[in-house]
């Protein structure tokens, strides 16, 4: 009888310990948000500031950051639920919505308001002109249907360029392979984000000739989205995430590029702080970073016009389905 009681006590203790561990682990997991970013760039400085300055930690959140290497991969990670939040162009959320999924990707915060890529050439062109210098040339523009490619195309079309006639836009190179493809001899020009562009120039491999964002104008370019079901189940986490992100945005705009570079340097190990500062200055100079996480409906409309003009979609996309401004407003 004593042995039976002892056995029952041991079993009870095991159950209690297992339950306690499970609860503890669950609480820890509840603090984690898995973010998959389309690429790793100073273009997303407010996010890295929020991570490195502890703004997410202040909200009780822990960020697990992974690199998708392209919006298609990033959105696949979100839809497959291997990521909780996707940092990608808003066009990716539009495509998922148009697939007819009931649990589609909803954007809840905008991060950037211009294209963040820079046109890079092999030679230094002091008199480079968007209107004339690219005639008869080939540009590696990224994946067709991706926001970087469409912003570039939009800038070129508005200047009289027609792909296949007076210019060639190469859509065959995956986003994360553009730099090595260009370095190996493909194309006359390509687009690069920072700090890759500044690093490339410093290495003497090419030259930054112009800003695609400045040439194409304001448009919602990068945003954070989550599956509709995730937002419905985790509204507090989304609100905390958005609040920490806004603090990161405020920090970027309220401080010098040098100060911001110091704040993000741990996210760019191996890149010199002066290069980070130069890249951040480039983005601030063209007002690439958003000052608020909200997205304007008219800006979203311009995005849809760009996607439609590119021949990617031919359907109406309701703003209130794709974007939830409530967290940004709070």
Residue-wise DSSP of 21-58: HHHHHHHHHHTEEEEEESS--GGGHHHHHHHHTTHHHH
> For the stretch 227-251, what's the b/e string if a residue is b when 16 or more beta carbons lie within 10 angstroms of its beta carbon?
bbebbeebeebbbbbbbbbbbbbbb
Distance between CA atoms of residues 305 and 129, nearest Å: 26
At 11 the pLDDT is 42
Q: ∠ at Cα 193 (192, 194), nearest 5°? A: 125
User: Do the strands 189-193 and 138-140 form a parallel or antiparallel pair, or are they unpaired?
Assistant: parallel
CB 255 within 8 A of CB 281: no
Global pTM value: 0.82
Distance between CA atoms of residues 218 and 211, nearest Å: 12
The model's confidence at residue 147, banded by pLDDT at 50, 70 and 90, is: confident
The model's confidence at residue 12, banded by pLDDT at 50, 70 and 90, is: very low
Per the structure block, which two tokens stand in for 159?
């200047």
Distances from the Cα of 91 to the Cα of 2, 23, 85, 114, 223, angstroms: 68, 39, 15, 14, 10
Per the structure block, which two tokens stand in for 241?
């995430």
For residue 319, the 8-state DSSP code is: H
**Sign of the Cα pseudo-torsion (188, 37, 250, 326, in order):** positive
Distances from the Cα of 178 to the Cα of 19, 295, 308, angstroms: 50, 29, 25
Local structure of 123: helix, strand or coil: coil
Report DSSP letters for 218-250, one per residue: ----EEEEEEHHHHHH-HHHHHHHHHHHHHHHH
The model's confidence at residue 2, banded by pLDDT at 50, 70 and 90, is: very low
Per-residue pLDDT tens over the stretch 170-217: 999 988 899 999 999 999 999 999 989 999 999 999 999 999 999 988
Burial class from Cβ neighbours inside 10 Å (0-12, 13-18, 19+) for residue 133 reads middle
Which residue, 70, 88, 212, 74, is CA-closest to 150? 212
At 29 the pLDDT is 65
Beta-ladder partners of 107 = 225, 323
Please report, rounded to a whole number, the percentage of residues in the chain having pLDDT higher than 90: 78
Distance between CA atoms of residues 234 and 213, nearest Å: 34
Per the structure block, which two tokens stand in for 104?
């589609």
The model's confidence at residue 252, banded by pLDDT at 50, 70 and 90, is: very high
With a cut of 80, say whether residue 7 has pLDDT above it. Answer: no
Per-residue pLDDT tens over the stretch 40-99: 999 999 999 999 999 999 999 999 999 998 899 999 999 999 999 999 999 999 999 999
Q: Within a 10 A sphere around the Cβ of 117, how many other Cβ atoms? A: 28
Q: Which whole number is the average pLDDT over 139-159?
A: 91
> Among 39-53, 242-256, 292-306, whose mean pLDDT is lowest?
292-306
């Amino acid at each position: 009888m004593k042995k039976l009681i002892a056995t029952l006590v041991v079993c009870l203790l095991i159950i209690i310990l297992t339950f306690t561990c499970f609860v503890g682990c669950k609480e820890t997991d509840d603090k984690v948000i898995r973010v998959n970013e389309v690429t790793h760039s100073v273009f997303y400085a407010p996010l890295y500031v929020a991570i490195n300055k502890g703004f997410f930690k202040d909200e009780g959140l822990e960020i697990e950051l992974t690199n998708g290497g392209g919006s298609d991969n990033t959105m696949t990670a979100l839809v497959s639920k291997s990521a909780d939040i996707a940092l990608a162009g808003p066009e990716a959320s539009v495509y998922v919505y148009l697939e007819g999924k009931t649990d589609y990707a909803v954007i809840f915060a905008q991060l950037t308001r211009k294209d963040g890529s820079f046109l890079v050439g092999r030679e230094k062109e002091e008199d480079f002109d968007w209107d004339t210098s690219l005639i008869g040339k080939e540009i590696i523009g990224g994946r067709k249907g991706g926001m970087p490619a469409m912003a570039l195309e939009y800038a070129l079309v508005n200047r009289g360029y027609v792909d296949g006639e007076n210019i060639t836009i190469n859509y065959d190179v995956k986003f994360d392979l553009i730099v090595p493809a260009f370095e190996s001899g493909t194309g006359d020009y390509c687009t690069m984000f920072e700090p890759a562009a500044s690093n490339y120039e410093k290495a003497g491999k090419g030259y930054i000739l112009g800003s695609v964002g400045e040439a194409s104008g304001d448009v919602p370019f990068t945003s954070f989205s989550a599956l509709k079901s995730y937002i419905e189940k985790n509204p507090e986490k989304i609100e905390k995430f958005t609040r920490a992100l806004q603090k990161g945005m405020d920090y970027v705009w309220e401080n010098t590029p040098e100060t911001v570079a110091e704040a993000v340097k741990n996210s760019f190990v191996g890149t010199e702080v002066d290069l980070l500062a130069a890249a951040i200055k480039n983005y601030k100079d063209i007002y690439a970073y958003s000052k608020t996480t909200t997205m304007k409906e008219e800006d979203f409309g311009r995005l849809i016009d760009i996607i439609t003009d590119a021949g990617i979609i031919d359907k109406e996309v309701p703003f209130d389905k794709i974007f939830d401004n409530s967290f940004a407003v709070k």
